[in-house]
Amino acid sequence: MKKYLLLFIIAVFAMSCSKKVEVKGKITGGSPLERIEFIEASGVATLPLINIGVNKDGTFSGSFDAPKSGMYVMSYGGKQNLIYLKGGQKLEISGNGMTFPSEYVITGDAKNNNDFFQATQKYLSTYAQTVNMNELIMKDEKTFLKGIEKVQGDVNKNIEENSKKFSPDSEIVKWKKNDLASTLLTILNQYELSHKQMGNPSFKVTKAFTDFENKLQENKDVMVKENPYYRQYLLGKMSPDFQKFAQANSTGKKDITTSELFAEYLKKNQKDLSQTAKDYLLAFVMAQSDIHPGSPEKTVEKIKKIIDEDIKDATIKEDLKKIQFAINGFKIGEMAPEGSLVKADGKAYNLSENKGKPYLLSFYASWNPYIGESTIPVLKEVVNFYKSKMNFVFVNVDDTKDQFVKTSSSLLKGITGTNVYGDGGLNSDIAKKYGVYGFKLPCFIVVDKDGKIASKPFFNLGDPELVVVLDKQTGLSAPKVNPNVQLQQGMGMDPAVVAAQQQAAAQQQANQQPAPAPTK
């Protein structure tokens, strides 16, 4: 009897801890060419959890696993806003295409939390206009601290009033107070730096200042886990010391990366910092400084080593590996993996059918604006030049096979190659195996005649590096082209940084501190 009771309890617990979030809604005037994405805002280098299409009537729906309860970035039409989500929730989001997601209405499980959040954000936006922070920073320390304490009191009072009004979960109230503390800490740091730069490099704040600073960050590990803005504050505090360390330790080391220097700096100069803080800060710096499409193979391998050896938190380690793979792709020489692919007639297709001849693997979606506006004309030229020596495989990742059938034949009309569909679109196994996300489309990868990866992912067909690879694989020599002929898609933007920037913009608070980097 006890055995069955235990199993029942475990089953109930598993259900109550569901990470699944179900979302649906309608954007009045919404465009089917725009997509809705959700990204965990507190992550160090997180990728979109879902990419949802908008129907012609503006409706949309989807579900995804929320790694944890907290703030998420919701994006649409190149704009972002924050939303508070918990696993197991069902919610409906509505808005107008002109103002969404800057303005949105939520019904369902997440209503109270987000009504509270939007009310506090609205208050902050109005309140920020009443405080001349630049003028306050120029005051003497006593006057400055008095002004900052008033700001803290006023905003916390509003948080408490909205908490009583909307009855949100205690977690979001704590998050909002920590978010306020992170903003105030950034302003305190700006005050200290400003006065040192005003001709007094030996300027030091008083004990009252440091006591207030310490009081604001009594929950350091919680804040560093939840708030990218707090991480930026910590990096800003470390920046002067790190600059000196970097200058002293980078001399004569031509290829040393910012990540290597910062990892060493944390070991030697920040011994009292918790491992949690070290993991988040190092990951934050790596994501901004050294994980980007232009990273050479040597740098990619260096970053992999730092992730393996210096990052201790398993979730952070996994997130960094995912973003690095999404940005930098496979190691050259690895076998190109197969995936579930079908042709328009429903017949299965295997990439291995190209063995014996190199091929260009192209991922695209009909809703992506770049595929029609800037890619197709260049793609035609590339295919016509190289088609005698290599194959071309076009992998469509639209939401449904019907969309693929309707759009692909006209979109790629007259272009030689094999057009196939990744079943499930961006959720297909082929997209996951190749690290394909909405922000990476269109994406091009060269595979050699033996079925091995021969290039990193490219996002511009005019990239001279891609032309070099194509020439090498085919033995042909393409004429020189303008590398800017195809519009770039803004690849490499770290979602965690986007989230932090959105926080700062929404609150209209102080300018964020830059991540430390060695002075060259």
> pLDDT tens digits for 61-114?
999 999 999 999 999 999 999 999 999 999 999 999 999 999 999 999 999 999
DSSP classification of residue 374: I
Give yes or no for residue 7 having a pLDDT over 50.
Answer: no
* Of the candidate ranges 110-119, 281-290, 305-314, 498-507, the one whose mean pLDDT is the lowest: 498-507
Which pLDDT belongs to residue 107? 96
Which pLDDT belongs to residue 369? 83
Amino acid at 379: L
319, 46 in Cβ contact below 8 A? Answer: yes
Which pLDDT belongs to residue 482? 57
Q: How far is it, in rounded angstroms, from Cα 222 to Cα 254? A: 37
- Backbone phi, then psi, for 338, in 5-degree steps? -80, 170
Mean pLDDT within 288-301: 91
Please state the domain extents for the chain.
2-109, 111-218, 341-474
What are the pLDDT digits (tens) for 171-200? 999 999 999 999 999 999 999 999 988 878
Q: How far is it, in rounded angstroms, from Cα 475 to Cα 472? A: 5
Give yes or no for residue 451 having a pLDDT over 90.
Answer: yes
Which pLDDT belongs to residue 134? 93
If one looks up domain 2-109 in CATH, what number appears? Answer: 2.60.40
458, 488 in Cβ contact below 8 A? Answer: no
Evaluate whether 2-109 and 341-474 have a shared fold.
no
- Backbone phi, then psi, for 306, in 5-degree steps? -65, -40
What are the pLDDT digits (tens) for 27-54? 999 998 899 999 999 988 789 999 999 9
286, 230 in Cβ contact below 8 A? Answer: no
Would you identify the CATH topology of the domain 341-474? Glutaredoxin (3.40.30)
101, 74 in Cβ contact below 8 A? Answer: yes
Amino acid at 486: Q
Q: Please name the residue that has the structure tokens 């009771």.
A: 5
Amino acid at 292: H
What are the pLDDT digits (tens) for 373-419? 678 999 999 999 999 999 999 999 999 999 999 988 889 999 999 99
Q: How far is it, in rounded angstroms, from Cα 267 to Cα 264? A: 5
Mean pLDDT within 290-303: 92
